Amino acid sequence: MYHFVRRAMAVTTAMAVVAGLAACGGSSSSSGGSVPGVTSTEIIVGTHTPLTGPAAAGYSEISPATKAYFDYVNSKGGVYGRKITFKIEDDAYDPATTQQKVRKLVLQDKVFAILSGLGTPTHTGVLDFLNTNKVPDLFVASGSLSWNQPKKYPYTFGYNPDYTIEGKTFGNYIKANFADKKVCTFGQHDDFGADGLKGVQDVLGASGVTHSETYDVTNTNVAPAIGALKAAGCQVTIAFTVPGFTALALGTAAQLGFKTQWMVSNVGADYATLGSQLKDATGPLLDGMLSTAYLPAPTDTTNPWIALFLKLDQQYDNNAAFDGNVEYGFAVGYLFVQALLAAGKNLTRQGIIAAVEKNGFAGPGLSPLRFSATDHSGFGGLQMAKVEGGKQEVFGPLYTTDDASGPITESSPSQPAPPADGIPS
């Protein structure tokens, strides 16, 4: 009898605990089903990002800007009456830390989705975990080809144009403008550098790249690599670098007397971010630097999207110094709200995946997003950008291509105006 009573009490206690968790855990959607991170009044979303560490320069501004956009949307009633709670975890650009932080977000904080997780080496380590747990892994802040594997990773979607597309764009520009020059690359020692080099060689051929060097984010001594590029006689050097290492490369090159035409990946070329590190040397070192862009120049205040984000930055992001990273944060926040709206009132994880694959999104991007059931890669086009007279401006046609051997096509970018209130309908 004693054992029966004790078991009965245990069952009753367990039921009470479950009931209590259901009441306060916040995981029921308006459809009556249990959806992690979703209640009738809230959507909990998480991210990992380097607020500190070797990639913090510039990148630490992205998530606060995304949160600022959500704060604005929340002030207008949220999305279908739900306000967005954005949990930002600092991983210091360390893959081991990323795994700890993402597990916390999913298993403890019970987030609905991971949004804009930043970094190639960091996010690569959580792909399997997120997809095994069927957590929407949306708009990764990196251009690795890894994000575009719908069959293997159906819950993961990219955002940035992938680095192979960017490499092909650089190669195409070099072919037209620097055909007789020795071309070299300096890239991060992971998919970032490898995918970029692949794209360059897709256009110029393997022999079209005279010399390649890599760096590791744990070692700030880039002098040997830059010295090797100088010794190889590199006349055009393409850098697939995060901002901190772009600054290190350009500064070290100046110290070593290495003069080359720098072409820098869009993820490491933001003028204001580099200027904050190069200080008085900014003008001389950055003048003439080429890069790419898929969002409007953050200094183009005539662009209605920039005007909108500037206004929201002042009101909801503590008037942070506006640059390409802040713009990126607002842009990805806008896209996520579009995705939530497209997923409908009865929000589910499968529902938002279906909504993103259906696509039809329009926003500040210079090229269309390529999302579909068979393509999770994000933006597919880039324009060139150049620093002249202390300004970084976008110029020329929009180049679109694939991450294989497809041709590069040119078109004129088209961009819709933002909604009057800055919130997608």
Residues 90 and 193 in one domain: no
CATH number of the domain within which 212 lies: 3.40.50.2300
Residues 150 and 56 in one domain: yes
Which element (helix H / strand E) includes 343? helix 324-343
- Cα separation of 213 and 154, whole Å? 34
pTM, two decimals, is 0.91
- Cα separation of 414 and 416, whole Å? 7
pLDDT the model gives residue 381? 95
Residues 153 and 176 in one domain: no
End-of-domain residue from the set 357, 379, 401: 379
350-396 pLDDT, tens digit each? 999 999 999 999 999 999 999 999 999 999 999 999 999 999 999 99
Query: What is the domain count for the chain?
Result: 2
Sign (positive or negative) of CA dihedral 97, 101, 103, 108:
positive
Mean pLDDT value of segment 87-116: 98
- Cα separation of 306 and 145, whole Å? 29
* 78 is a domain residue: yes
* 388 is a domain residue: no
End-of-domain residue from the set 267, 293, 319: 293
- What stretches of 34-150 adopt beta strand conformation (E)? 42-49, 83-90, 113-115, 137-140
Residues 90 and 195 in one domain: no
Whether the CB-CB separation of 403 and 199 falls below 8 Å is answered with yes
Whether the CB-CB separation of 138 and 157 falls below 8 Å is answered with yes
Residues 145 and 84 in one domain: yes
Residues 289 and 167 in one domain: yes
Range of the domain at 61: 42-161+300-379
- Structure letter (DSSP) for residue 341: H
Q: What mean pLDDT is reported for the chain?
A: 92
* 88 is a domain residue: yes
Residues 215 and 283 in one domain: yes
- Cα separation of 175 and 200, whole Å? 10
317-345 pLDDT, tens digit each? 999 999 999 999 999 999 999 999 999 99
* 19 is a domain residue: no
135-167 pLDDT, tens digit each? 999 999 999 999 999 999 999 999 999 999 999
pLDDT the model gives residue 298? 96
Residues 246 and 359 in one domain: no
Contacts of 125 (CB under 8 A, 6+ apart): 95, 96, 98, 99
Residues 217 and 115 in one domain: no
pLDDT the model gives residue 366? 95
* 406 is a domain residue: no
- Cα separation of 161 and 59, whole Å? 17
* Number of residues written out for the chain: 425
Other Cβ atoms closer than 10 A to 168: 29
* 32 is a domain residue: no
End-of-domain residue from the set 345, 362, 379: 379
